[in-house]
Structure 1
Amino acid sequence: MPGPEAPEAPGAVAGAAGEPRKVARVVLLDPRDRILLMHGCEPDDPDDDWWFTPGGGLEGSETREEAALRELAEETGITEVELGPVIWRRICSFPFDGRRWHQDEWYFLARTAQTAAAPRALTELERRSVTGLRWWTSAELSSARETVYPTKLAGLLRTLLDEGPPSTPVVLAPEIV
């Protein structure tokens, strides 16, 4: 589950002509290189839970950069951000809230010194499924027993911290759940 930010309109699962939904996600790091993740669950089953990066679908004619910053502000309240490059891309498909979602996700690297986080404009679906936010160190993420999306996030983050952002976005293996 990449995240419960999905739109609620029945036809909003995929783009035009069956194209995957365009999504912008944010790998947000603080001055201590901790990553901010959201905790979510299946709305009718709180035991089916996972952690994921902030982000969501593009609205109207906005760019992925605009969507990344808007979603970050709505989901975390964090607005003091230095948005960097797209570091990863992936296609994913997953069941959530009784539907199947197909997404084309771009992950932006971002930095902030603003570590106080609280959602400020969640959708109705997000209010039913987002249960918290947490800053994670790389070591905590590597030893986590919880489900985290993308599934290889701990290793991806360690590589990012060790080597810096890639010169071109790394295409991650598709995740089909």
Structure 2
Amino acid sequence: MHTEATGACGDAYEGGLRKVARVVLLDPEDRILLLHGHEPDDPSDNWWFTPGGGLEGEETREQAALRELVEETGITDVELGPVLWRRICSFPFAGRRWDQDEWYYLARTAQAATAAATALTELERRSVAGARWWTCEELTRAHETVYPTRLAELLRRLLDEGPPASPVTLDPEIV
């Protein structure tokens, strides 16, 4: 099992608990935008994941979430909402171990078209193959690997009940 280590600082990450901001971006039809990633040297080892990445310098997680969204999708018309979920994960990717503290922000956009990602790191250029909007039903039926692993269930609850009163801590994913 692999997961999403790309994002700003992806090329410079050298261990420790990496602070990551991810975006659960919904369009007016409640579809979620996911990126299609793969192991840099093995495109057949692939998965879908939410946009986002590591914090740079002194930026806040909110700032990182918005920056990463622009860098990875070109989407700038975004209303950033609350933190929905938090999780700790650890996984091998691109020949090293990644230990991440991820916060997932809700965001809404009317901008359904993604632009060519122009600010990708070298690692992202080698491991991100595109983006796609998914309905909750499509996610539920998907046979592809999606991170976080319970995303279809989490999205259904979000759409049915709205954002949680405080961030929900997801089970750690350690590979």
TM-score normalised by the shorter chain: which range applies? Answer: over 0.9
Q: Give the equivalent residue in structure 1 for 2:14.
A: 13
Paired with 1:134 and 1:62, the residues of 2 have a C-alpha distance of 28
The residue type equivalent to 2:89 in the other structure is C
> Hey, what does 1:22 align to over in structure 2?
19
Change (3 A) 1:103 1:13: farther
User: What CA distance in whole angstroms lies between the structure 1 residues aligned with 2:138 and 2:79?
Assistant: 24
Cα deviation code 1:1-23 (max 9, x no counterpart)? 034225222xx233xxx3x1000
Q: Is the 8 A contact 2:4 2:37 kept in 1?
A: no
Q: Give TM-score, length-normalised by structure 1.
A: 0.94
- String of CA shifts for 1:109-137, please: whole Å, max 9, x gaps: 00000011032211110000000100000
Q: Does 1:67 align with 2:64?
A: yes
Rounded Cα–Cα distance in structure 2 between residues aligned with 1:97 and 1:157? 29
Partner of 2:83, secondary structure, is strand
Superimposed CA distance per residue, residues 32-79 of structure 1 (whole angstroms, 9 cap, x where no aligned partner): 000000000000000000000000000000000000000000000000
Separation of aligned partners in 2, 1:106 and 1:47: 28
2:156 to 145, 154, 158: 158
Identity %: 75
Q: What residue ranges of structure 2 are gaps of 5+ in the alignment? A: none
| Offset at residue 96 of structure 1 (A) | 0.3
Report if the CA contact (8 A) 1:2-1:150 is conserved.
Answer: no
Q: Name the structure 2 match of 1:144.
A: 142
Q: Aligned pair count?
A: 171
2:4 alignment partner, SS class = coil
Q: Is the Cα–Cα contact under 8 Å of residues 26 and 68 in structure 1 kept in the other structure?
A: yes
SS of aligned partner of 1:33: coil
Aligned amino acid, residue 125 of structure 2: R
TM-score by length of structure 2 reads 0.95
RMSD over aligned Cα atoms: 0.9
Separation in 1, partners of 2:130, 2:101: 24
- Corresponding position of 2:92: 95
- Counterpart of 1:55 in structure 2 is 52
Could you tell me whether the CA contact under 8 Å between 2:80 and 2:108 is conserved in 1?
A: yes
Unaligned runs of 5+ in 1: none
The residue correspondences of 1:115-154 to structure 2 (distance < 5 A) are: 115-118=112-115, 119-154=117-152
